[in-house]
Amino acid sequence: PDLTELSARLTVCRACPRLVAWRKECAHVKKAAYADQPYWGRPVAGFGDTKPWLLAFGLAPAANGGNRTGRNFTGDPSAAWLFEALHRAGLATLPTSDNAGDGQRLTGVRLLNPLRCAPPKNKPTPAELSTCAPWVARELELVLPAARVVLCLGAIGWSAALTALANAGVDIPRPRPKFGHGTEATVAGLHLLGCYHPSPHNTYTGRLTHQMFDEIITRAMQLADQ
């Protein structure tokens, strides 16, 4: 399948009973701020360029973000922070990512999550991660040929990216390279780059600043000769 067909197939996946129940519950028991809005309440596909030089890995859609809007990294504080930064770097048409109909477009970048449904407390079980692994592996098969850099958001994104690459047939060195902000590793010609996740926990506390993120994007561009 191509990316459009893959996304269409993904939206009807019900392989994880706990996550199917949770994504539905979030859509019924809405956060007060979004009480008047419909919730997507289904799996969320990757979002961005279909021939990306940069792949960014998070973990899963947020209950009131991607799970509400139906678009990856859309409609929550992490998304707002990330898109402001991507826009500064000329990689996103808009400095915001509020809803799936906002006209946002990414150039050269694709945002992926190894888990396609929002998990309770943002904590998937190992079984859920492994059940969902084929979805990101299939998406990776379609976008890897163009990719040069994999930006891993947080230690979980780093580990998930390595696992997803391994599932997509990429040789991963042993021992696995370890995550750190600014850490780099080369895996079968792909550059892995670690960056703290742009969650409020990191951005509100100053652990991840705009300048730090801009430096990571500049480095990603250097590595990819962009």
Q: At what angle do helices 3-10 and 126-143 cross, to 10 degrees?
A: 160
Indicate which single residue of 16, 92, 160, 220 sits in contact with ligand SF4 (rule: CB under 6 A).
Answer: 16
Cβ 110 to ligand SF4, closest distance in Å?
Answer: 17
**107 is an interface residue for ligand SF4 by CB under 6 A:** no
Nearer to ligand SF4, 167 or 202 (CB): 167
**122 is an interface residue for ligand SF4 by CB under 6 A:** no
Number of residues that bind ligand SF4 (CB under 6 A): 15
Q: Is omega for the bond preceding 175 within 30 degrees of 0, making it cis? A: yes
Indicate which single residue of 96, 99, 122, 131 sits in contact with ligand SF4 (rule: CB under 6 A).
Answer: 131
**19 is an interface residue for ligand SF4 by CB under 6 A:** yes
CB burial string 155-164: b at 16+ within 10 A, e below = ebbbbbbbbb
Contact assessment for residue 79 and residue 195, using Cβ atoms and an 8 Å cutoff:
no
Contact assessment for residue 115 and residue 21, using Cβ atoms and an 8 Å cutoff:
no
Residue at token pair 């979002």: 47
**6 is an interface residue for ligand SF4 by CB under 6 A:** no
Which positions lie near ligand SF4, rule CB under 6 A? Answer: 10, 13-16, 19-20, 43, 115-117, 128, 131-132, 135
